[in-house]
Amino acid sequence: MKIRNHKDAFVIGGLLAGTVMVFGGIINCLHNCDFKHCFLIWVGLIMLGSALYAMRRPETEVLPDERTEKNNLKAGYAAFWIIVLSGGLLSLADERGLCDLEVRGALSVTILIGVFSFVILGWYYNRMGCE
């Protein structure tokens, strides 16, 4: 299969990454089954599903219009500053001794804040429109 456009690259990358994640999760789950290995399997299955969905979708549906691109750019810009602010506040709280944070916990909280803020702001900008 030749990679002719971004859709083909997404499909091939999604299939490869999803397969590696599922097999890695299964192999690690054989040794010790805990939450992160089961989560790895689920994320791999979701990636495989989204790649298969993108593979079956016609090319005309793949390209977003200008309004969607503009809304995603605005949501991404705002989510970036929310991530920077939340990271700064977490490091300030840890420095002042208000909470005992580990780097792993603070990073996961910051990533979750960024993902949720991007999704919520994307929904908001799509619903309200851009100026």
pLDDT (tens digit, 9 = 90+) per residue, 25-59?
A: 888 777 777 777 778 788 888 888 888 887 787 76
User: Which single residue is written with the structure tokens 């090319």?
Assistant: 59
Most confident range (mean pLDDT) of 11-15, 58-62, 126-130 is 11-15
**Residue 86 lies inside a defined structural domain of this protein:** yes
Q: Are residues 57 and 88 in the same domain?
A: no
The predicted model gives 105-116 an average pLDDT of: 84
Secondary structure (3-state) at 70 = helix
pLDDT surpassing 80 at residue 105: no
Half-sphere exposure of 18 (CA within 13 A, CB side): 17
Q: Is residue 1 part of a domain?
A: no
Looking at residue 3, what is its pLDDT? 52
Q: Return d(Cα 73, Cα 51) in angstroms, integer.
A: 23
What single DSSP character describes residue 86?
H
CB 68 within 8 A of CB 126: yes
**What are the distances in angstroms from CA 47 to CA 10, 22, 42, 108?**
10, 10, 9, 20
- The fraction of the chain above a pLDDT of 70, given in percent, is 87
Expressed as residue numbers, the domain containing 124 is 66-128
pTM (global) more than 0.85? no
Q: Are residues 55 and 89 in the same domain?
A: no
